[in-house]
Structure 1
């Protein structure tokens, strides 16, 4: 009876295990954490446990990543197949299994912002039938803002329009962007967000007062970065038309005075020549009159 009872219990447990196995599929996968958060550069553990009734001779584990930046393009991270480990080139040297072959957990070192996304753990163990076991978790990589880049475009002559732009390539959570004039006066400027992580300031009808040092600040809970633009607005000299008119008037007066001097000199010279000519003609006439009577007198003798 006791032997039959023991055999009965074994049969019961076998039926129970088969029933459970049939209910849950060939391989059961459990992800202990649905999301993992890590700071850029640190190591991230990605847990994935599995249960199987078969030996692990043909165990296969595939980890994939669906990045947040491109949800339609999942990529392979690491594979365990028939005792061999294959790392994806983009994760080479940064990813590895923990506790193989009894666990599908992996670690990811030197995390980057591009590592963020949804990770999927797919486990199969032939000759078990049924669909592979699948588990998913999300990885969030926090990062301080990268150094922003400040740019400007437009006309810096008085009356022109100038646009100041600031671009930051990385940072999570998305950095807050602020534009301000810091010298000679400190003024907070309204920012137009141009999509992504880019913000600009439009300065219309610029004047000399717009000249100065401008700063763009990008910040999130992990840090703050700055970039600067030194804006110089060109202003022409004051009263340029009046100055030009004054120069032209002075030049005209100088030419008029020169003409008057030359005219005076010409008149003076003409007068002297006329006076000399008249005097010479008078002397010639006088000599001619004195000489004539002598001739007449001689003619009578």
Structure 2
């Protein structure tokens, strides 16, 4: 008589699939949400893609500020593409299963792109700081070589740590519910499914969040405190208005992205709510990439002029 052997506990993780619940609690809105997020995804791709193209093609926009903005627009396309296609597929097919390998891959890319965004926003703040506080030294300090090094560092510096962090999380045994009450594979909802003590993993989440979220955020705040003090000393009201206009758009993006990210990752565990985390994730993973090109282009005369020339062509 053949007996069906039970898989060892150590192999449960390898055999497992997760279920991304997403909007499963709103079955009557599935088609509406699919259409809504499809439109949002198209808007993000077209708007950020257009900003990227016009900066690359227009000779008037070949400056460090626009070089970083082009990197930022391309990053937003990558960032949102790590989450929205899977969300759209789940809404369209109602098949919410995701393999452990696919979940780990998604988490890894989301963390890499989120870390890159934090660092790139800090670099953009430093660029504005040098341009406003040390305008005579700006061409020397922000040379083409320095800009490439800063952009490359923003894209690559967090990759080894992110891969290691993702491997550490998915090396755990998952013996609880397979259901992830989230739109994508994010750290907090995954850790809730893990067996045993997850203190080391939770501590590493805080360390990574401090290094890649809080440190860049504090550097940005420091840069802008210096920028504001310099702007207020400018004799011309026109120059003050121009300087504030240049910086305010970047600051709006910073507050929206970092505010939701800090609340999501640096709250005490006792205050974590799955529904709150889902709402916050919509801000930093979807809403910010959609609003960024609108904020930058609508508040920047050079980008608007370049866009008009691009459309005329």
TM over 0.5: no
Compare CA radii of gyration and give the structure with the larger one.
1
- If each structure's strand is expressed as a fraction of its own residues, which one has the higher value? 1
Greater RCO (Cα-Cα under 8 Å, separation 6 or more): 2
Q: What is the TM-score normalised by the length of structure 2? A: 0.19
Q: What is the TM-score normalised by the length of structure 1? A: 0.20
